[in-house]
Structure 1
Amino acid sequence: METMTTGDKKIFAAIFVSIFGAVMGVGIVVPLLPVYAQNLGASGFYIGLIFAAFSLSRTFLLPLFGSLSDRTGRKPYITIGLFGYALVSVAFIYSDTVGGLIWLRFLQGIASAMIMPVAQAYIGDITPKNREGFTMGLFNLSMFTSLSIGPLLGGVINDLAGLDAAFAGMGVLSLAACLASLFLLPPVREEHVMTRGSVPAKWSLLLTDRFLYGLFCLRFVYVFCIGTIWCFLPVFASSIGLSSSRIGVLIMLGVFVSGLLQMPMGMLADRTDQKRMAICGGLMTAGAMVVYTWAVDFWGLFAASVAFGIGGGVAMPPLMAMAVVKGGETRAMGSVMSLLTVAHSMGMLFGAAIGGVAMDFFSLRQAFPFAGLIMVAGVVIFAVCTYSKRCEVDADTPSVARITGPHDGI
């Protein structure tokens, strides 16, 4: 089994540290924004618009930056995006209007579109063959751990020093991440994507690839469930009398458990049938959404959150491993990763919106099993789109062969 070169290990460490700092910085601030906006006089509609502005700009620009990075290199987009995060952090300190917050979140979404899929593509470029699950699982630790730490740290900073200090903290972390990328990543001319000498697949081919569509659907429905949980679990938990601190634990728990499983499940994904593993994890996630419906106290919700974290921890490493192989096959790693990040953004948006409709027409509890049904539907679509008789091989077969599915037009 191949391993990373010393140079690639340095690249991995630089990107890991950069993403950890940037995501933790955002995690410090984002949970505090609704309260800040409300203090500025924002209604519920405008608070929603503040968050929607980020997703809107991010979703539409993800494919552009992913595709450009396949042709012009990864480093410029990661560095500029992180510097944009730092500038927005400073601007937040001086913003005293709801409209200003909306525009800043819109700009922050643009910066985000330049960072995450391009960073994932860079990791994909340097991932050794048959080590896709482990490598992406290890990299995902940077996001899961920072997402767990950021909100807790933000609450402490806000209580001790105020909201401006939290914005400043995001700025410092983002700037540090920018400098790490600027000085630790090699020049663009030395990047794998620039030295391979091959032409990336066109968007017209990627968008008609059934296998890639299956990956997109599974990522979408998984994040759809996350959007439902993050929006409605606090309301549901509050309705049964749980404190804010316990609600915070429940929200963080799923992310934390998934983070713990990224490396071991990534290693397992490199040694077993990745599609079956992703399907099992998806069905576990759907089952966890039903458990939320049955919960009547903190420990019931605790168990559901742990189950959801386990499901995500099982499903996501093989999915990302398959995405890396698909990106390598098509020579369009940036485009493939940007499509999965689009699925993430859309899942978060639709999970909150459609879950709200289910709550309004039925009851608050029904938002969770409804999301579970969406998850099952997505798993079925994933299974159909990635089905191929060529995948029925033993566990010793290299992972490229294990996940090869239909290649419509590629």
Structure 2
Amino acid sequence: MKNTAATLLTLSVSVCSVMVGLGIVWPLLPVLAVQYGAGGLIVGLIIASYNISRTALSPFVGRFSDRFGRKNFILLGLVAYSAVSFAYLSAHSSGALIAVRLAHGFASLLVVPIAMALTGDIAPRGKLGSYMGTLNMAAMAGLGLGPFMGGILFEHAGMTAAFSSMGALSLFACVLVAAFLPPDRESGAVVRREGTATLKDIFTNRTALALVFMRFFTATGQGAVYTFLPIYAMRADMPSSQVGVLLSVNIFLMAVVQRPVGRWTDRHNPKYPVMAGMFVAALSIFPMPFAGGFIPLLGLNLVMGLASGAVYPGSLVVSGHLGRVMGMASLMSVTDAAWTFGLIVSPILSGLILDVWGIVPVFALGAGLLFLGSVLVTALLRGYRPPAEENAG
């Protein structure tokens, strides 16, 4: 009998390690770019390059993984992650940083989306929500912890230590996967030499299209908050420590609710937290520029974190159900591309609005796009019911 719990633990620890490393360098990249003389537009391009390569290459990587397996893709991604981590230290120009970021985005495609697909493969019937929620909790916890660790490392040990820590964490995850993740034929990975869904199949399926819309519109709403809440706080003379608390609380709450909501979706229709979470998250974003202080903003971020966190386990369970038909990685890589595309569109569009109309319409745009997404997703998922063998109600 396959030890799926041990496989899930290995994947969770590995993904958490990688996401901690990603979070470490997240707040340091703009500092590094400015040190090399980059202006605002180039800084934005450096940041966006990571998501550009993910958006462009994600669907292809997913189809390859469905055809050729999981473990080797994850190992290759972790090795590439480690190399990229140290390549940051050798990038002494804006152009070099853009190239490294493009490579970083590609490396990330080989790890987290494929790990998600493998989790969907191995999850026992009736436990898909628990498994997906556990892995996503590990990813979000790592991403939330990373910036905090990065700030401490940068302050006390410098830039080199921060990027080296990212590489060390990736190497640790690589060793862990190589040693403890079983080969595909033993882990339960589903390899399909043929029959994986095409892009046309995905975009003409109502449920798959709902997942694409969910990922895109959620990214646009969250992107507006994560990118421009610090600017709003700065203009309101709010200490940077309070801004860090706001964003950390938001992300950590998202992590905390993953497993309990995932377990709930194992017993009930997973569409409900998706639809309700998107709507409530949209309502929490709109009043943020009118909050008038740290405590009201903290309350709104608490609501947003809980609501946004509830969306992911439900959507991952729906993805898992559908992925067993379409190809797990093929579907999840397309929804991942929608997510990263939203993270590209949101800062650019919001930045233009900020320059023309100010900070308040930025939050209105984020809330409006997320509300539009909730309407579209609700319409597309209205008749969705999970497969009978999953024992959801």
TM-score range, shorter chain: over 0.9
Structure 2 CA distance for partners of 1:158 and 1:399, relative to 1, 3 Å: same
For residues 212 and 69 of structure 1, the distance between their equivalents in structure 2, rounded to whole angstroms, comes to: 19
For residues 47 and 192 of structure 2, the distance between their equivalents in structure 1, rounded to whole angstroms, comes to: 39
For residues 373 and 111 of structure 2, the distance between their equivalents in structure 1, rounded to whole angstroms, comes to: 27
Alignment-mate amino acid for residue 360 of structure 1: D
- Between the aligned residues of both structures, percent identity stands at 31
2:23–2:146 CA contact under 8 A, matched in 1: yes
Q: Give the superposition deviation at 1:241.
A: 0.6
The C-alpha deviation readout for 1:134-167, integer Å capped at 9, x for no partner, is: 2111111111111111000011111111000001
Partner of 1:250: 246
1:137–1:265 CA contact under 8 A, matched in 2: yes
Alignment-mate amino acid for residue 97 of structure 2: L
Q: Secondary structure at the match of 2:124?
A: coil
Partner of 1:41: 37
Partner of 1:55: 51
Between Structure 1 and Structure 2, how many residues are aligned?
A: 393
Question: Does residue 384 in structure 1 map to residue 379 in structure 2?
Answer: yes
Stretch deviating more after TM superposition (237-246 or 202-211): 202-211
2:89–2:163 CA contact under 8 A, matched in 1: yes
The C-alpha deviation readout for 1:237-268, integer Å capped at 9, x for no partner, is: 11111111111111222111111111111112
Q: Out of 197, 200, 205, which is 2:196 matched to? A: 200
The C-alpha deviation readout for 1:258-283, integer Å capped at 9, x for no partner, is: 11111111112222232222111111
Partner of 1:408: none
Q: Secondary structure at the match of 1:31?
A: coil
Q: Secondary structure at the match of 1:270?
A: helix
Structure 2 CA distance for partners of 1:27 and 1:195, relative to 1, 3 Å: closer
Q: Out of 334, 339, 364, which is 1:339 matched to? A: 334
Pairing of 1:279-294 with structure 2 (within 5 A):
279-294=275-290
Partner of 1:352: 347
Q: Out of 299, 305, 315, which is 2:295 matched to? A: 299
Q: Which runs of 5+ in 1 are unaligned?
A: 403-410
Partner of 1:309: 305
For residues 215 and 135 of structure 1, the distance between their equivalents in structure 2, rounded to whole angstroms, comes to: 19
Partner of 1:371: 366
For residues 191 and 354 of structure 2, the distance between their equivalents in structure 1, rounded to whole angstroms, comes to: 52
For residues 312 and 33 of structure 1, the distance between their equivalents in structure 2, rounded to whole angstroms, comes to: 26
TM-score, scaled relative to structure 2? 0.95
Alignment-mate amino acid for residue 346 of structure 1: F
Pairing of 1:23-34 with structure 2 (within 5 A):
23-34=19-30
1:144–1:259 CA contact under 8 A, matched in 2: yes
Structure 2 CA distance for partners of 1:100 and 1:198, relative to 1, 3 Å: closer
Question: Does residue 325 in structure 1 map to residue 294 in structure 2?
Answer: no
For residues 401 and 255 of structure 1, the distance between their equivalents in structure 2, rounded to whole angstroms, comes to: 28
The C-alpha deviation readout for 1:163-187, integer Å capped at 9, x for no partner, is: 0000110010001111111221122
For residues 40 and 293 of structure 2, the distance between their equivalents in structure 1, rounded to whole angstroms, comes to: 28
Q: Secondary structure at the match of 1:200?
A: coil
Partner of 2:209: 213
Stretch deviating more after TM superposition (271-280 or 103-112): 271-280
Aligned-residue Cα RMSD (Å) equals 1.9
Question: Does residue 277 in structure 1 map to residue 277 in structure 2?
Answer: no
Q: Give the superposition deviation at 1:384.
A: 1.7
Alignment-mate amino acid for residue 45 of structure 1: L
Question: Does residue 133 in structure 1 map to residue 166 in structure 2?
Answer: no
The C-alpha deviation readout for 1:337-366, integer Å capped at 9, x for no partner, is: 101211210111112122223333432022
Structure 2 CA distance for partners of 1:196 and 1:218, relative to 1, 3 Å: closer
Q: Give the superposition deviation at 1:215.
A: 1.0
The C-alpha deviation readout for 1:205-239, integer Å capped at 9, x for no partner, is: 22321210011101211111111011110000111
Q: Give the superposition deviation at 1:191.
A: 4.5
For residues 9 and 94 of structure 1, the distance between their equivalents in structure 2, rounded to whole angstroms, comes to: 40
Question: Does residue 226 in structure 1 map to residue 222 in structure 2?
Answer: yes
Structure 2 CA distance for partners of 1:400 and 1:171, relative to 1, 3 Å: same
Q: Secondary structure at the match of 1:158?
A: helix
Q: Secondary structure at the match of 1:356?
A: helix
Partner of 2:179: 183
Alignment-mate amino acid for residue 227 of structure 1: G
Partner of 1:154: 150
Partner of 1:67: 63
Alignment-mate amino acid for residue 320 of structure 2: V
Stretches of 4+ aligned residues off by more than 4 angstroms: 194-198, 396-402
Alignment-mate amino acid for residue 164 of structure 1: T
